[in-house]
Chains A and B, each alone.
Chain A
Amino acid sequence: MSIRSAVLDQVKLVAEQQRKTLAPLTDDLPLVGSGLDSLCIALVVANLEDELGVDPFGVMGSVDMPVTLGEFIHFYESAPAAKA
């Protein structure tokens, strides 16, 4: 499974679990306007770390959050793999 598919699957899964209605998932969709709230985005990040073994954030998560869905996907595609 590609990283893009994994990210989109997690976005859809968390939205369904949290009963959020998603806007159409396009690369230029702002994350904050996607229908996901801060908890949802945090859950997506946590799930992706578990599923992909990828940790694109620093130790404290203090990097700037990507603004759009496309940037968010690229963020993961270009991240080094973490220890799972």
Chain B
Amino acid sequence: MTPVTFNDTLGWLHAPRGGVGRVAVLICPGMMQDALLSHCSLRVLGERLAEAGYWALRFDYPGTADSLAEGDIEPPEGHWQSWLKSIEGAADWLRETTGASELVFAGLRIGATLATLAASRRHDVAGVIQFAPVVRGNSYVRQLLVQAQLQTGQPLPADADLVFYEFRLSPRTLDEMRAVDLRIAGLPGKKIALYPRADSRLIDECTQAWTAAGANVTRGTWNKLEPMLRHNIIEEDTLADFSDVVAWLSRAMPYDATHKAVTPAATPLSLEPAACVETPMRFGRRGRLFGVLCRPAQGQPDTAVIITNSGRDPHYGSCRQSVTFARQLARQGIASLRMDFAGLGDSLGPIGKEDLLTPMFEADRVPDIRGALDALERLGYRRFALQGLCAGAYHSLQGGLNDPRVSTLLLVNIPLFSLPGEVMEFLTHRTNSFVHYFNRLTSLDGLKRLFTGKVNVLRILRGQVDQVRMHASETVQGIATKVGGADRRTPARRAMADLSARGVRTLFLFSAGQGEIDAFAREFGPAGEGLAGYPGAVMHVIENMDHDMSQAPGRAVGQALMVNFMAPSGRS
């Protein structure tokens, strides 16, 4: 797979063996949470299609992921029309670049809806693959509105813009989305593979309507595709299995070995947002890691910030927060590399494990960070910062401790400083007491779930034991330090002492009232008063910032603090 840029967006071209492929598949991602969850699975889809002899292209809609446009600024034609137009543009680019004579559009959730509507406008689209399509735009808009209302706790005024995730959606865009109804999409003569997430009345009506209008509709099952939208954030996990999808395509539009081989021409590989230049970059051993280098359009800075994955989100981050942060830094004269750790986003996992999501905490990310530092050093950068949120903050801390080239750390909502044995249970249950669990388990339903194996009591208890062990260890270490024992500092205090001794500056940011400050507060106090002994370390609690910085006001404050900490005027 090869990163490409076209039409002010970034994409990935997956080439079939020998460049021989009569059919090209345009992969239209979902949006917002659907896009974050499915990113790696759609990478695997691209690879499987290429192995089967099809060109495949993944790309970002305007205002999403790594694209040039800003999602919170509506283009003149509105977001909805802009997204549809971008599919048409990507399809034209794909045909022109690969020489494919037929196209197939594949899409997920609202991406499937857009793909279907765009396909209905084109004669060169022979097939459509729909993963959990949104049939009625009205219910999708309802979903967004309810979710936004629940997250903000604020009723949404009528006829106002909807500000949600990376978007500002105008009433006009919302109305255009509401008007969509796939049951009336005209798809005569097209081959359709429909993979609904669950059977429903609307899916039945789609199938009947399209078949009656002359489409050839095949309905598949969701089981093997379920990892695409699975929200399992901690442990190693499988990605979607597209074997049934590829088998359908091979029957519907067979591979043609006699088709003329094509080697796509090299194109300039950069995007130019205002005052920035962005370049996709592969690095690390065998180029298996990926990131986007963002640098100021003018000048050659010596400082680069490595922006790491938040949890398992791809390198662009939830609500594109890594993109907006990178561009803010560039406008202050600081470069950045927003990267994917191995097995996340567009970085390949260990050999033989390319189809797995790597664990959020327990994978060692220090080698990946070293790979990024090496690559940036080769480009002439000399001063380095690491930035991360939640698990990304934990890995950034480890990177800073293990590589002397790192001189600044930007750590947002760091939930722990060292790993207990059972990370998942520790994080999931750390705020719950034994009494709470006992009460839950002794309820009738709790007991039922226990006896039917739906509650893994051993894992919960292990997590609780880790928590007790950590508290006990901290208490013993605290007493030992007071009576003048040897180096009995906790890992957190040892880490801060090492970083301070090296002159590393560390900024801690925390959401107010969230559990993730617990580990920090135990070490350094809830207001960071214990950091006084570690020169260069500061902390802030941000009142209106949520855990994953998904809400714009808190994100803006957090990013401004980080940019200020990096800028020369922010140096202490």
Hey, which bits of chain A sit against chain B, CB under 8 A?
A: 13, 17-19, 21, 23-24, 38-39, 41-43, 45-47, 49-51, 55, 57-65
Q: Which of B139, B146, B156, B232 contacts A50 (CB 8 A)?
A: B139
B177 CB, nearest partner CB in chain A, Å: 12
B112 CB, nearest partner CB in chain A, Å: 15
| Closest residue of A by beta carbon distance from B158 | A60
Q: Do A39 and B147 contact each other (CB < 8 Å), given the known contacts A50-B200, A62-B157?
A: yes
Is A42 touching B155 in the complex (CB atoms < 8 A)?
no
A60 to B202, CA, bound (A): 23
Contacts of B443 in A (CB 8 A): 24
Is B151 touching A49 in the complex (CB atoms < 8 A)?
no
Is A43 touching B143 in the complex (CB atoms < 8 A)?
yes
B567 CB, nearest partner CB in chain A, Å: 35
A-B contact pairs, 5 of them (CB 8 A): A39-B33, A46-B139, A49-B142, A61-B149, A62-B155
Is B146 touching A41 in the complex (CB atoms < 8 A)?
yes
Contacts of B198 in A (CB 8 A): 13, 17
Interface string of B141-167 (1 = CB under 8 A from A): 011111101110001111110000000
Contacts of B229 in A (CB 8 A): 17
Q: Which of A19, A24, A39 contacts B230 (CB 8 A)?
A: A19
Contacts of A24 in B (CB 8 A): 443-445
Contacts of B144 in A (CB 8 A): 42
Kindly state whether residue B201 has any CB partner on chain A within 8 Å.
yes
Contacts of A64 in B (CB 8 A): 155
Contacts of A58 in B (CB 8 A): 158
Greatest chain B CB density within 10 A among A23, A50, A63 is at A50
Contacts of B149 in A (CB 8 A): 61-62, 65
Contacts of B231 in A (CB 8 A): 18-19
Is B145 touching A60 in the complex (CB atoms < 8 A)?
yes
Kindly state whether residue B136 has any CB partner on chain A within 8 Å.
yes
A63 to B444, CA, bound (A): 35
A-contacting residues, B108-128, CB 8 Å: none
Contacts of A21 in B (CB 8 A): 449, 454
A55 to B444, CA, bound (A): 35
Is B202 touching A50 in the complex (CB atoms < 8 A)?
yes
Is B146 touching A45 in the complex (CB atoms < 8 A)?
yes
Kindly state whether residue B80 has any CB partner on chain A within 8 Å.
no
Contacts of A47 in B (CB 8 A): 139, 200
Q: Do A38 and B155 contact each other (CB < 8 Å), given the known contacts A19-B232, A24-B445?
A: no
| Closest residue of B by beta carbon distance from A45 | B146
Hey, which bits of chain B sit against chain A, CB under 8 A?
A: 33, 135-136, 138-140, 142-147, 149-151, 155-160, 197-198, 200-202, 226, 229-232, 443-445, 449, 454
Contacts of A43 in B (CB 8 A): 143
A41 CB, nearest partner CB in chain B, Å: 6
Contacts of B155 in A (CB 8 A): 62-64
| Closest residue of A by beta carbon distance from B183 | A84
A35 CB, nearest partner CB in chain B, Å: 11
A55 to B149, CA, bound (A): 16
Contacts of A18 in B (CB 8 A): 231
A60 CB, nearest partner CB in chain B, Å: 5
Please name the 9 residue pairs, one residue from A and one from B, whose CB atoms are nearest each other, closest first: A61-B145, A42-B147, A38-B150, A46-B143, A46-B139, A42-B146, A49-B139, A62-B155, A24-B445
A39 to B548, CA, bound (A): 14
A38 to B143, CA, bound (A): 10
A36 to B230, CA, bound (A): 14
Is B146 touching A65 in the complex (CB atoms < 8 A)?
yes
A73 to B304, CA, bound (A): 53
| Closest residue of A by beta carbon distance from B171 | A60
Q: Which of A50, A57, A60 contacts B157 (CB 8 A)?
A: A60
Contacts of A50 in B (CB 8 A): 135-136, 139, 200-202
A61 to B232, CA, bound (A): 29
Is A55 touching B142 in the complex (CB atoms < 8 A)?
yes
Greatest chain A CB density within 10 A among B146, B158, B444 is at B146
Is B143 touching A42 in the complex (CB atoms < 8 A)?
yes
Is A61 touching B151 in the complex (CB atoms < 8 A)?
no
A73 to B98, CA, bound (A): 53
B230 CB, nearest partner CB in chain A, Å: 7
Is A45 touching B158 in the complex (CB atoms < 8 A)?
no
| Closest residue of A by beta carbon distance from B144 | A42
Contacts of B143 in A (CB 8 A): 42-43, 45-46
A39 to B34, CA, bound (A): 11
A55 to B145, CA, bound (A): 13
Q: Which of B146, B158, B197, B454 contacts A17 (CB 8 A)?
A: B197
B256 CB, nearest partner CB in chain A, Å: 38
| Closest residue of B by beta carbon distance from A18 | B231
Q: Which of B138, B160, B226 contacts A49 (CB 8 A)?
A: B138
A23 CB, nearest partner CB in chain B, Å: 8
Is A46 touching B157 in the complex (CB atoms < 8 A)?
no
Greatest chain A CB density within 10 A among B143, B230, B444, B454 is at B143
Beyond A38-B146, A43-B143: 11 further Cβ-contacts under 8 Å? Answer: A21-B454, A41-B147, A45-B146, A46-B143, A49-B139, A51-B202, A57-B145, A57-B146, A60-B158, A61-B142, A61-B149
A55 to B141, CA, bound (A): 12
Is B197 touching A61 in the complex (CB atoms < 8 A)?
no
Contacts of B157 in A (CB 8 A): 60, 62
Contacts of A57 in B (CB 8 A): 142, 145-146
A43 to B200, CA, bound (A): 14
A21 to B33, CA, bound (A): 20
Is A51 touching B200 in the complex (CB atoms < 8 A)?
yes
Contacts of A46 in B (CB 8 A): 139-140, 142-143, 146
A64 to B231, CA, bound (A): 28
Contacts of A55 in B (CB 8 A): 138, 142
| Closest residue of A by beta carbon distance from B226 | A17
| Closest residue of B by beta carbon distance from A57 | B142
| Closest residue of B by beta carbon distance from A43 | B143
